[in-house]
Amino acid sequence: MRLKHLILSVFFLACAAPSIRAEYIVLRSGQRLAVTGYQIVGDKYRLQMKGGTAEVPVEQVLAIEPEEIFTPMTPVEVSQEPFGDLIRAAAKRYSVDADLITSVIAAESNFDPKAISRRDARGLMQLLPATAARLGVKNIFDPQENIEAGTRYLSDLLQLYKNDLALTLAAYNAGPERVQQYGQRVPPFAETVSYIRRVQQTYQQRKSSGPSPADKTPRRAAPPVAATATSAGHF
């Protein structure tokens, strides 16, 4: 009889398990906290974790990820720099860090000027046709036009978000409307969080390798932020 009760107890616990799966709270500092539950109390998240609870200010939470979407990042190869002259020219024109432009292109198209995403974003910096038209692009697949327009858009977003790199990349990926929808915070989309992480990882790799001798122009970009979470307003 006891064995039967034990089997039934295990069965019911197994059925209930999915409801208590772990999640990750991603902080702006780059720290990831594994939690089994959370709630907003005033202006703070109250987090339930193994061993107790903790409270974190709402503005410090960048995203909330289900456990199953958190996978180790694959290092991005940045040893080759196609279109380097075009990137440096656009960087100088719009005062955007050339390394940031290169990192965005690597994540967006892997340097394929003919790339088309499933959402119809196109070219090296994966511009949507509507965005490209607004920026005066005549041939979206032309590397020079695409890089010029994409860099100008990055410059506008950096200015809009006061050089907050995470918000800039979130808006480039998901659109400024989504950032606004989530209270000027990174939208909690797995694709957007992963995109930010990839771009920041590449950007940090490039910065840690030292400045390029050919890149001596003043530039504007947020300092590399610890990694959190494809293109200009894909969503």
- Here the tokens at position 97 are 């860090």
Sign of CA dihedral 102, 108, 110, 115: negative
Catalytic-residue membership of 108: yes
**Residue 228 to residues 124, 197, 201, 206: CA-CA distances in angstroms?**
24, 5, 9, 17
Count CA within 13 A, CB hemisphere, residue 10. Answer: 6
- Here the tokens at position 70 are 């958190």
23, 65, 108, 145: which one is catalytic? Answer: 108
For residue 41, the tally of other CB atoms under 10 A from its CB is: 10
What burial class does residue 102 get, using C-beta atoms within 10 Å of its C-beta: 0-12 exposed, 13-18 middle, 19+ buried?
buried
DSSP per-residue letters across 66-84: EGGG--PPPPPP-S--TTH
R_g (Cα) of the chain, nearest Å: 21
Q: Which are the catalytic amino acids?
A: 108
